[in-house]
Structure 1
Amino acid sequence: MASQYPAKPIRVWLTPPGPNPWKVVFLLEELQLNYEIRSFRFDDVKKPPFITINPNGRVPAIEDPNTGLTLWESGAIYQYLIEVYDTDKRLTYATLNERHLLNQWLHFQMSGQGPYYGQAGWFRHLHPEKIPSAIERYAKEVRRVLGVLETVLAARPADTQWLVGDKMTFADMAFVPWNFRLSEVLMCSWDEVWEGVPHVRAWQERMVELPSWKRAMEKRARLMDEQGLQWNGVPKGIETFTEYEEKIKRGENTIPGKE
């Protein structure tokens, strides 16, 4: 259960399928903050009321009635929540060098991991035509990002294999939601995902065992079910991505309950 701090719940706007909203929910759960979710369908992301919250039409966004701030971009939300609510520095550091190293990794997650993983998933699953060169390019970029993480984690002492310092921080947490989707993105087994990057696998698997991550995923499962979606974002009644791709290509409606 989240704590009652802050006094008024932080409102989180999200569509449940994608990874980025759960990056924010994961942090809220780990900090045990008081929050509420406003869940809506992905096809409404460019419509009111959400477009008045975020004119860029991307999730997540938050409204914090305790400070009067509305904020979008998951990385900016991370920095805000840590600055305002992690007063014990449990997921950050007070020291200058460590603070900037944490922000370095957060920027790498936002500029490297998220976009490349997202493009890998798009061109493999959702683009209306198969472009082998694009599929290959972004699959290689996924492997490159994993390789960067592996190099750093492998060089850390065995008992402190975190990105910065000797504890888990918000920088480590930011990578979890997209890494959690890699088997789906790359269309391979969980073991195949982590070939050649054993330290990244161990790091990821430590974090997905956290109660805060499990609570976030329970909320995601409930919201996905409410929208008639399977865990991977495919509507119920569609068995494979290939079938989903064919329906998209034919221009057929794939959203349950909509004609």
Structure 2
Amino acid sequence: MSHGKQFTLFTTSGGAPNGWKVAIVLEELGLVYEPIYLDFYKAEQKGPEHTKYNPNGRIPTLIDHANNDFVVWESNAIISYLIDKYDTEHKISVTKFEEKITQLQWLFFQASGQGPYFGQLGFFLFHTQEKLPSVIERYKNEIIRVFGVLDSVLSKQKWLVGGKCTVADLVFVTYNEAALFMGKSIEYDFDLENNFPAVHKWHTAILSRPAVKNVLAVRDSFATAAN
């Protein structure tokens, strides 16, 4: 493997949100990385060239060549590593102990509350031949519930912690995008801007950040090339 750049990021060129949210944090911090795009249709994420680093066989996986080729997997663990080690100016992280715990709380909520429900809806919508209305309804309702949780907080404050955009906010954006995309295939029974106005304003503000724009443009270029 070439070590021409500080980091190697195993990810995918598809729409899977977890790899892109790590790329956003790397971009926000100005860290130089080489992406290796694994082909899910060929199950490359399960192949030995990847599982020798990540036994779980999922993306993303990060190798830090400047730190003795230290390997981290699980997207929010990677993000925690990046801010703890490299966000010395706290551009997208907080400093106070209590705020760090709140930041961690939102990372856990995203990983356990948003990611699985949003991801499962995508699986049952696009990757199964049999459509199961009760399953789709369950995950659709969970998406609505998660947006409701976020809106209840963001209606009182602009950002989730520390009065500024941090990783606590950034980790949600790619899954929010996925939810809005899936909304074109099913009826959500809500409109984000009208039903969750605080979430809509927050999401729009995150999308306006240059690092987010850059990463999502790369993501979208793969989708365009595939069509």
* TM-score normalised according to structure 2 size: 0.90
Q: Which residue matches 1:3? A: none
Task: Map 1:139-178 onto structure 2 (within 5 A).
Answer: 139-156=140-157, 161-178=158-175
Shift of 1:223: 4.2
| 2:35 paired with 1:37 | yes
Q: Which residue matches 1:217? A: 216
Q: Which residue matches 1:95? A: 96
Report the residue type matching 1:26 in the other structure.
Answer: I
Kindly, what percent of the aligned residue pairs are identical?
39
Q: Which residue matches 1:135? A: 136
Task: Map 1:14-29 onto structure 2 (within 5 A).
Answer: 14-17=11-14, 18-29=16-27
Report the residue type matching 1:71 in the other structure.
Answer: V
Separation in structure 2 between the aligned mates of residue 56 and residue 87 of structure 1, nearest angstrom: 30
Shift of 1:216: 0.5
Separation in structure 2 between the aligned mates of residue 205 and residue 46 of structure 1, nearest angstrom: 35
Separation in structure 1 between the aligned mates of residue 89 and residue 32 of structure 2, nearest angstrom: 17
| Structure number with bigger Rg | 1
Per-residue displacement from partner, 1:75-95 (whole Å, max 9, x unpaired)? Answer: 100100000000011211211
Contact 2:124 2:136 in 1 (8 A): yes
Contact 2:5 2:34 in 1 (8 A): no
Q: 2:176 aligns with which of 170, 179, 185?
A: 179
Contact 1:146 1:200 in 2 (8 A): yes
Contact 2:10 2:35 in 1 (8 A): yes
- Secondary structure of residue in 2 paired with 1:164: coil
More moved, 48-57 vs 200-209? 48-57
- Secondary structure of residue in 1 paired with 2:33: strand
Contact 1:13 1:62 in 2 (8 A): yes
Separation in structure 2 between the aligned mates of residue 103 and residue 10 of structure 1, nearest angstrom: 23
Change (3 A) 1:126 1:45: same
Report the residue type matching 2:166 in the other structure.
Answer: T
Shift of 1:194: 4.0
Shift of 1:128: 2.2
Separation in structure 1 between the aligned mates of residue 136 and residue 31 of structure 2, nearest angstrom: 39
Shift of 1:74: 0.1
Report the residue type matching 1:31 in the other structure.
Answer: L
Separation in structure 2 between the aligned mates of residue 23 and residue 49 of structure 1, nearest angstrom: 23
Report the residue type matching 1:112 in the other structure.
Answer: G
Separation in structure 2 between the aligned mates of residue 211 and residue 90 of structure 1, nearest angstrom: 14
CA RMSD of aligned residues (A): 1.9
Change (3 A) 1:88 1:189: farther
Equivalent residues, number:
218
| Greater per-residue helix proportion | 2
Consecutive unaligned residues in structure 1, runs of 5 or more: 1-6, 230-235, 237-259
Where relative contact order (Cα < 8 A, 6+ residues apart) is larger, the structure is: 2
Q: Which residue matches 1:48? A: 48
- Secondary structure of residue in 1 paired with 2:121: helix
Q: Which residue matches 1:78? A: 79
